[in-house]
Structure 1
Amino acid sequence: MLDDFVVRGVLAALGAVLATGVLGCFVVWRRMAYFGDAMAHAAVLGVALSLAFSLSIYVGVIITALCIALIFIQLTDAGQTADAALGVLAHTALALGLVIVSLLSGAKLSLSAYLFGSVLSVGITDLAVIWGGALVVLGVLWWQWSDLLTATLSPDLAYAAGIDPRRKELLLTVLLALVVAVAIKVVGALLITALLIIPASAARQFARTPEGMAVAAMIAGALAALLGTQGSLMFDTPTGPSIVVAAAGIFTVSIIAGRLRS
């Protein structure tokens, strides 16, 4: 079954959207969209460094994203505003990654696949990494759900309950870095943030509880993965962008349905 490249592509997309769906809820609740963009730009630098030093793409992206996140924390602690620090780091990482790739012969084509995604070219190893990373993210979120939710909704209440909001924010940062690495071959570095935000935003129209929103976001993401992959095969369009377009369509339908219901 896994010898079929289409089946592998669908499974890879499903694995990625299950993780991005739940984590995307925290991105929406915490208004971390710009931070997600910074992680995505860091992924470009991670890919470039991986190509330069012949490292695993997944390892290079995770390490680079974590380094960018730690530098961001240091800059904000030093008095820089969050949006300014993120802007500097995101665009510096993107520019540096593109410069490094320009110095590598034959690397431009490889980078293109990671910028826009290449889900239909995933192999068995890629599939194992994607699902392994997704299960780790889901497992940690399930384990830390109550603490993360408390720290997200009310930092003061979290402190009163003995929960350190800064540590939970750092945990979410690590999970974001892992998700970026997992999803980069599915939708590409330029569209990873969309996969985090759009399904969660669509789910927000119907969910009455945080848990309900997380489940709805996973369902919306899975539906977008299936519709996007099918549309890509039918119309011969790039699969990653097609998945994001399908997610945007689901979001549009959710907005219309929400207004009709109200």
Structure 2
Amino acid sequence: MSGLFADFMIRAALAGVGVAVTAPWLGVFVVWRRMAYFGDATAHAALLGVALSLMLHLPVYVGVAGIAVIMALVVAALEDGRSGLGTDSLLGVLSHGALAIGLIAVSFLPGARLNLEAFLFGDILAVSWSDVAVIWAGAIVIAVLVGSRWQALLTATVNPDLAWSSGLNPDRDRRILTLALALLVALAIKVVGALLITALLVIPAAAARPLSRSPEAMLGAAIAIGAFSALGGLVLSYRIDSPAGPSVVAVSVACFALSRVVAGFLSIRRV
């Protein structure tokens, strides 16, 4: 039991919970706006940011956040310019293109092959106290940013025309979401890796949706599910010696399945 309270496990728990309670602030909007593929594209671009950070001797967070922001701005510009492609096709091209270029770039870095799995699937057990500080600082920024624009973001999500007529700017709110998403990707890269970031965005929010009667309740439930998934995944990883990042996602999937069962049972009781 003492191993669960080792210093590296405490750091991992704090980092995991930091990311897990931050992701739902954006995850609820990703679910409502059906932006999951956009989250995938931004996360996949993160690997290119890792490669550039190592090449230029920059902190990984800086390179990942920079590339994620560029990806978000490129997608917005191409959508506004009506490229002739559907949004899903456009995101598919950019997502897999950025991932492929990132993998090629990483392959040319000395010793990077050994660390590639950590970038793809995370290495939460290797986070440092400075990583924990960065994650929680970023978490506060995202929570304050989204919280301060909560009502405007909700209005723009439910009815963009109503938002415009109310003097709001849905395009600006969309940019706020994309920039916050880029920051989250940078924070989560060490915890769950580029390939699993979208899972933390979508699954807790999707699990909370059938159990919630208001947007605020859904956010609160998603935060609770995310925190439980982070801690439960770490315990599972410790008990069965499984990869920590995928274990966190596996627990969140189990929570999603359970939420569907509970929601179905409650709907039967109401009949």
What's the TM-score bracket when you normalise by the shorter of the two chains?
over 0.9
SS for the counterpart of 1:159 is: helix
Q: Which amino acid aligns with 1:249?
A: A
Q: Is it true that 1:54 corresponds to 2:57 in the alignment?
A: yes
| Whole-angstrom CA distance in 1 between matches of 2:143 and 2:238 | 29
Please state how far the C-alpha of 1:233 moved relative to its aligned partner.
Answer: 0.3
**1:140 alignment partner, one of 140, 145, 166:** 145
In the TM superposition, 1:37-186 aligns within 5 A as 37-80=40-83, 81-186=86-191
Q: Which amino acid aligns with 1:37?
A: D
| Whole-angstrom CA distance in 2 between matches of 1:50 and 1:224 | 30
Tell whether the 8 Å contact from 1:47 to 1:111 is kept in structure 2 after alignment: no
Q: Which amino acid aligns with 1:157?
A: L
Among the aligned pairs, what percent are the same residue? 52
In the TM superposition, 1:226-241 aligns within 5 A as 226-241=231-246
**2:207 alignment partner, one of 202, 211, 218:** 202
The unaligned stretches of length 5 or more in structure 1 are none
SS for the counterpart of 2:140 is: helix
Q: How big is each residue's C-alpha offset from its partner over 1:68-92, in whole Å with a ceiling of 9 and x where there is no partner?
A: 1111112112212211221111111
Q: Is it true that 1:243 corresponds to 2:248 in the alignment?
A: yes
Q: How big is each residue's C-alpha offset from its partner over 1:178-216, in whole Å with a ceiling of 9 and x where there is no partner?
A: 001111111111000000000000100111000000000
The unaligned stretches of length 5 or more in structure 2 are none
Tell whether the 8 Å contact from 1:22 to 1:215 is kept in structure 2 after alignment: no
Q: Which amino acid aligns with 1:173?
A: T
- Give the alignment's Cα RMSD to 1 decimal: 1.1
**2:35 alignment partner, one of 21, 32, 36:** 32
| Whole-angstrom CA distance in 1 between matches of 2:186 and 2:114 | 19
| Whole-angstrom CA distance in 2 between matches of 1:161 and 1:253 | 39
Q: How big is each residue's C-alpha offset from its partner over 1:215-235, in whole Å with a ceiling of 9 and x where there is no partner?
A: 000000001111100000000
**2:197 alignment partner, one of 171, 188, 192:** 192
**1:256 alignment partner, one of 248, 251, 261:** 261
Q: How big is each residue's C-alpha offset from its partner over 1:153-183, in whole Å with a ceiling of 9 and x where there is no partner?
A: 1100100111110110000000000001111
How many residue pairs are counted as aligned between the two chains? Answer: 261
Q: Which amino acid aligns with 1:74?
A: A
| Whole-angstrom CA distance in 2 between matches of 1:129 and 1:5 | 16
Q: How big is each residue's C-alpha offset from its partner over 1:94-146, in whole Å with a ceiling of 9 and x where there is no partner?
A: 01101111111211223321111111111011000111111110111111101
| Whole-angstrom CA distance in 1 between matches of 2:223 and 2:30 | 14
| Whole-angstrom CA distance in 2 between matches of 1:3 and 1:216 | 29
Q: Which amino acid aligns with 1:259?
A: G
SS for the counterpart of 1:96 is: helix
Q: Which amino acid aligns with 2:18?
A: G
Q: How big is each residue's C-alpha offset from its partner over 1:22-53, in whole Å with a ceiling of 9 and x where there is no partner?
A: 21000000000000000111111111111111
| Whole-angstrom CA distance in 2 between matches of 1:242 and 1:21 | 18
